[in-house]
Amino acid sequence: SGSPAAGMVARTARYRRRPPPPRDPPRDPPRDAGCRERVFLEHHRGLALLHRGRPGEARAHLEAAIRLGTALGDAVITCFDEIYRAEALVFEGSYPEALSELRRLSRPGIPGRIRKLALSRLAFLQALIADPAQSEASIAEHQRLAPEPAVRFLDAGDDLFLGWASSILGRFQDAA
């Protein structure tokens, strides 16, 4: 697929080793960062740490984003951060607190997208703590909600948590 010379260079060239990426991002936001930028900085740091398997550290950043978002009056980003905070609580094993938060976020009156995110995580948590009837009810409620505009990242997260719940419940055909 390339020229023979390019293949030869690729096999024989000496490449300098790249330095490893920094383990953690710098702790302080830029001095000129506004409130909205600080919200998103904390949001993304929390999300990155959550996806790296560090829920305790993630929770601290997500809580900071929730405080900043609330002060800014941004209910949308705050709701997302509350979902991810509850997710961190699940992975930390703080089930009662996570259960309370996810129930609150899955109530009628909450925007549909947020409810769906909360219900998928709630179904997983309920299956995890051996409450199959409630887990089944959360899955059914998730399915009853009107479809939201596709956001692949969010939809994939819902599918993952619903699949985990279904797997724990022994509904292997639904877990795939």
Output the pLDDT for position 143.
94
- φ, ψ of residue 108 to 5 degrees: the values are -55, 145
Alpha carbon distance 81, 87 (integer Å): 10
Q: What is the pLDDT of residues 106-161, one digit of tens each?
A: 999 999 999 999 999 999 999 999 999 999 999 999 999 988 899 999 999 999 99
Cα 41-52-59 angle, rounded to 5 deg: 55
Give the phi and the psi of residue 133 in degrees, each rounded to 5. -65, -45
**Using CA atoms, how far apart are residues 105 and 68, in angstroms rounded to an integer?**
19
Which tens digits make up the pLDDT trace of 4-28? 544 444 455 555 666 665 565 555 6
Whole-model pTM: value is: 0.80
CB 104 within 8 A of CB 144: no
CB 114 within 8 A of CB 151: no
Cα 31 to Cα 123: distance, rounded to the nearest angstrom = 42
Radius of gyration of the chain from its Cα atoms, rounded to whole angstroms: 21
Lowest-pLDDT choice from 8-12, 56-60, 92-96: 8-12
